[in-house]
Amino acid sequence: MTRAQQTISIGLLVSSLYLACYLALIPFSAKIQEEIIPVIPFWAIVSFGAYLLFKLGWGVFTFNDVPEAHKELMKQIEQARKELRAKGVDVD
């Protein structure tokens, strides 16, 4: 099973479980059914966004901990500066 098939399968499972809860096919108390279940998709989107922002921030925070990538990026920056200077662009 490929990763795409696995992701689609999990997505379909989760969405069908949510739909069953939303349509009250799975019984919950009235308070949960009316106040919590309708906002679960928004909560999931906000949580996923927060997770992605954390991952992005952590990657930026720990970028200097990857010396090979840092060296490679600095070489590419220097190469770009040389090419731009050769074309007459001021990069300083």
Question: Which residues touch 84 (CB under 8 Å, ≥6 apart)?
Answer: 91
Mean pLDDT by 10 residues, the chain (92 residues): 93 96 93 94 96 94 79 93 90 76
Position 72 in a domain: yes
pLDDT of residue 1: 77
Question: Which residues touch 69 (CB under 8 Å, ≥6 apart)?
Answer: 63
Position 92 in a domain: no
Domain range enclosing 61: 3-87
Number of compact structural domains in the chain: 1
Three-state DSSP class for 66? coil
pLDDT of residue 62: 83
From CA 84, how far away is CA 53, in angstroms rounded? Answer: 33
